[in-house]
Amino acid sequence: MHKVIDLKVLYFGTPVVLIGSRNEDGSSNLMPMSSAWWLNQSCVLGLGDSSQTAANLRREGECVLNLPSSAQVDAVDALALLTANPHIPEYRQRQGYRHERRKFEAAGLTEVPGELVRAPRAAECPVQLECRVASTTALTGNRCTAFEVTVVRAHVEESLLVPGSDHYVDPVGWDPLIMKFCEFFGDGQRLSPSRLAEGWQMPGRLPAPAAV
């Protein structure tokens, strides 16, 4: 039997992306996000307009989509409540957000330059997609924008390639970090507790996994 309800959050499960971009002062930025989908060589990214990354993409017209595996959950979680935008709206301050420009250091990730774009890659991420912005579309009613980007160069960890192929990622070997209703999952299992879920005061039912 189905129940008609007022769903507060519609995050049913998508891969996490760390968007590398350049701030206006030339420093690097790294934003965790998960409203992303791909078609052919295009990707559409849903970004809140108050994020520094949205401003960077509008100004620079390029970015790197760094895809973490589930092993990088701690690096992603360390970035969860950080913003490079010095102007933090009050509701975000209440959620625990704070200003930080040294995102690579905060995540413990290594910055490497893009080859075709100025935006930074995260060396530890097994997949890094250099992209150029193709179009932007304002989403209705909620101060968000859909950025359509085109992949211009893909860097993929060799061990993830289908043996004998330079064109295909092995779907069995690739274990993306998945964000589902603000919680982190890898290989179908819930991972460590999520600061995003805590900041959003998500009513999770599962106890946090035991520390190892």
Ligand X SMILES: Cc1cc2nc3c(=O)[nH]c(=O)nc-3n(C[C@H](O)[C@H](O)[C@H](O)COP(=O)(O)O)c2cc1C
Q: Which residues contact ligand X (rule: CB under 6 A)? A: 16, 29, 31-35, 46-48, 51-53, 76, 80, 82-85, 97, 179, 196
> Tokens for 177?
């970090």
For residue 162, the minimal CB distance to ligand X (Å) is 28
For residue 155, the minimal CB distance to ligand X (Å) is 22
Q: Which is nearer to ligand X, 111 or 161 (CB)?
A: 111
Round to whole Å and give the CA distance between 125 and 19: 11
Q: Which helix (H) or strand (E) holds 144?
A: strand 144-156
For residue 194, the minimal CB distance to ligand X (Å) is 7
Q: Which is nearer to ligand X, 4 or 9 (CB)?
A: 9
Long-range contacts of 197-202 (CB under 8 A, 24+ apart): 198/96, 199/80, 199/81, 199/95, 199/96, 199/97, 200/9, 200/95, 202/9
Round to whole Å and give the CA distance between 88 and 94: 10
Residue 171 vs residues 36, 42, 82, 153, 163: alpha-carbon distances, Å = 18, 19, 31, 20, 12
Q: Which is nearer to ligand X, 54 or 128 (CB)?
A: 54
Round to whole Å and give the CA distance between 51 and 56: 9
For residue 85, the minimal CB distance to ligand X (Å) is 4
For residue 158, the minimal CB distance to ligand X (Å) is 27
Q: Which is nearer to ligand X, 93 or 135 (CB)?
A: 93
> Tokens for 193?
């507790």
Q: Which is nearer to ligand X, 14 or 150 (CB)?
A: 14
